[in-house]
Every structure is written in structure tokens, then in C-alpha cells.
Structure 1
Amino acid sequence: MSIPTCLHQPVCPSADSPDREAARTVASHQEQGWSLLCNAVLVFDDTGDLLPDGQIIPPHRPPVTAQVAIAA
């Protein structure tokens, strides 16, 4: 269970919630490739997350689908 850190209304999702990345950004370091959300989750540009308890969520980009053009 996460400690509530969000003071927004409505309250942002907690760090252990499936929609944790919907929380508001409180600090962003684009040059370093990460942002801190108000629920204390670090979100990285590669779509991985670091939760406040130290748990690592691996990158979860949508799968890339190859499109092949066929010449007629």
C-alpha cells in the first residue's frame, strides 16, 4: 500500500495502481530521460518505471508491427 502523496483533486492514482502513470508530473528532466510523478513514481523515456518501494517495471512499449509494402 502506498502512502498518499498527491494533493490534487481528484487525487492522482497511487504508485501501486495499474494506472500509476496518469499521475501529474512534478519534475521533468528530459535531458536525462526521466520524470517524477506526484505519486513518487519515476517514469523513464523508454517507458520503464521505478516505484517508490524500489520495484522496477520494465519498459512496456506497444509492440512494433512491421508493415510490408508490396509492389504491384
Structure 2
Amino acid sequence: MCQHQPPCPTADSSDREAARLVAHHPEQGWSLLCNGVLLFEDTGELLPNGQIIAPHRPSRTGHVAKAA
């Protein structure tokens, strides 16, 4: 599917989110990557084989960074 050089990560690789954007629809909350992965605003994913990856946002610690 990907014709970039070097090729983008495949949909089944752990770094699949590093693939280039093909379509971006922030108003609808999703983006399509060139490896066929649908990436959703909530960080969930739908892989080309139909597998669902649950949202995986970093957890918040409740700490606020102080300005230096």
C-alpha cells in the first residue's frame, strides 16, 4: 500500500502511528494513515484487518508543571 521511501511502518508493527497521513478529518475525529490504519481523535485505532485498538492516552498524574 505505502509507496514512500523509506516505506512507512506496516499496520501490524508497533510504530504503525508513524505512517504518513493520507486523509485528515479533525471535524469528524479521524485520520487515515497510508498503511490503512484509521486513527481516531481519542487515540483508538481500527486496523485494516478489522482489529480494534482501544484508546491509549497517557494517564494524567495530576501534577502541574511549574514555569521556570
Structure 1's unaligned 5+ residue stretches are none
Q: Supply the RMSD in Å over aligned alpha carbons.
A: 1.0
Query: Following the alignment from structure 1 to structure 2, what is the Cα–Cα distance between the partners of residues 32 and 60?
Result: 19
Percent identical pairs in the alignment equals 72
Residue type of the alignment partner of 2:34:
C
Aligned match of 2:44: 48
TM-score after normalising by structure 2? 0.91
Structure 2's unaligned 5+ residue stretches are none
TM-score after normalising by structure 1? 0.86
Query: Following the alignment from structure 2 to structure 1, what is the Cα–Cα distance between the partners of residues 63 and 22?
Result: 38
Choose which of 22, 26, 37 in structure 2 pairs with 1:30: 26
| Equivalent position SS for 1:21 | helix
Query: Following the alignment from structure 2 to structure 1, what is the Cα–Cα distance between the partners of residues 63 and 6?
Result: 41
Residue type of the alignment partner of 1:48:
G
Query: Following the alignment from structure 1 to structure 2, what is the Cα–Cα distance between the partners of residues 66 and 36?
Result: 32
CA drift of 1:14 comes to 0.2
Number of residue-to-residue matches in the alignment: 64
Query: Following the alignment from structure 1 to structure 2, what is the Cα–Cα distance between the partners of residues 39 and 55?
Result: 14
Aligned match of 2:56: 60
4+ runs deviating over 4 angstroms: none
CA drift of 1:67 comes to 2.4
